[in-house]
Amino acid sequence: MKRREVWWVNFDPSIGEEVKKKRPAVIVSNDAANKFLNRVQVVPLTSRTDRVYPSEAVVVFEGKESKAMADQLATASKSRLFSQAGILSPEDMRRVEEAIKIQLDIP
E strands present in the chain = 5-10, 22-27, 39-46, 56-61, 64-69, 74-77, 81-87
Domain that residue 82 falls in: 5-104
Is the separation of the CB atoms in 105 and 31 below 8 Å? no
The closest of 40, 82, 47, 41 to 61, measured between CA atoms, is 47
| CATH number of the domain enclosing 44 | 2.30.30.110
pLDDT of residue 5: 99
Q: 3-state DSSP call for residue 107?
A: coil
pLDDT digits (tens, 9 = 90+) for 36-95: 999 999 999 999 999 999 999 999 999 999 999 999 999 999 999 999 999 999 999 999
Number of domains in the chain: 1
**CA-CA distance, 40 to 55, in Å (whole number)?**
20
